[in-house]
């Protein structure tokens, strides 16, 4: 799986939701994993791609509603589209 595959899936999943909705990175990993495979193995790559997108202001990564580094430890994160008030 390429970073491009992950990026496309992130934005495809977000496009199916309301503009201010978020997704869990595990949704991305699960949707890209063949039936019966271990989707958790894909999580580090999903988080790395999410962080790169956030650094380019193309994605918003939050924990408890606050912006965070997608690759930093500390619990579950959410992925969403940048909002106008985010300055993007």
pLDDT at 87: 56
Go through the chain and tell me how many residues it has.
Answer: 88
Contact by Cβ (8 Å): 61, 77: yes
Residue 44: C-alpha distances to residues 5, 26, 73, 74 (Å): 14, 10, 11, 14
Query: What's the chain's average pLDDT?
Result: 92
What fold is seen in the domain 3-86?
Arc Repressor Mutant, subunit A (1.10.10)
Tokens of 32: 């890209």
pLDDT at 85: 67
pLDDT at 14: 97
**Single pTM value for the model:** 0.90
How far is 76 from 84, CA to CA, in rounded Å?
24
pLDDT at 83: 81
Domain assignments of the chain as residue spans, ordered by start: 3-86
């Amino acid at each position: 799986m390429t970073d491009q595959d992950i990026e496309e899936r992130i934005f495809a999943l977000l496009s199916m939701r309301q503009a201010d909705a978020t997704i869990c990175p595990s949704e991305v990993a699960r949707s890209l994993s063949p039936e019966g495979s271990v989707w958790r193995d894909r999580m580090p790559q999903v988080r790395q791609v999410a962080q790169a997108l956030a650094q380019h202001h193309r994605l918003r990564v939050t924990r408890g509603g606050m912006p965070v580094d997608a690759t930093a430890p500390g619990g579950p994160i959410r992925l969403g589209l940048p909002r106008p008030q985010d300055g993007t």
